[in-house]
Amino acid sequence: MTTVMVNGTFDVLHPGHIALLNTARSYGDYLIVAIDTDRRVRELKGEQRPINNQNDRRIMLSALKSVDIVELFDSKEELIKLMKRYKPDVYVKGSDWKGKSVEAANYCENVIYYDRVGNYSTTNIIQSITNR
């Protein structure tokens, strides 16, 4: 069985997220999605985020047929612990990380970089709603 892992905030689900998760799943038999806790999202993206709390994000992601399990992490160290526990064969990371240090490379056999689909982003969706 080939295990695949991806991580992110996944705050306001959009077609870009779905494409990422479907692509990630296509690389293996079992997809683990690690999501940032609410505290970590606020730390990384500001006090107005997340829009959807970690429990709601977990429920929505768990309902997707491409996703097998959703785990929460509150720090880089906790993400590393998840990688050590699950030992993914493949780790999918956004292509904006190409050429940068990716911690997952120390804990899995293969890091695959994913190019975003379209101009989808949670930040753009929030801005669009705010501007209406």
Percent of the chain with pLDDT over 70: 100
pLDDT the model gives residue 3: 97
Domains: count for the chain = 1
pLDDT above 80: residue 101: no
pLDDT the model gives residue 99: 80
Structure tokens at 82: 């998840």
**pTM exceeds 0.85 for this model:** yes
We report the CATH number of the domain holding residue 62 as 3.40.50.620
pLDDT digits (tens, 9 = 90+) for 22-61: 999 999 999 999 999 999 999 999 999 999 999 999 999 9
Render 51-102 in DSSP notation, one character per residue. Answer: SS-HHHHHHHHHTSTT-SEEEEESSHHHHHHHHHHH--SEEEEEGGGTTS--
Of 29-38, 92-101, 102-111, the least confident: 92-101
Q: Which domain holds residue 12?
A: 3-130
Strand order in the sheet with 69-73: 69-73, 30-36, 3-8, 90-94, 110-114
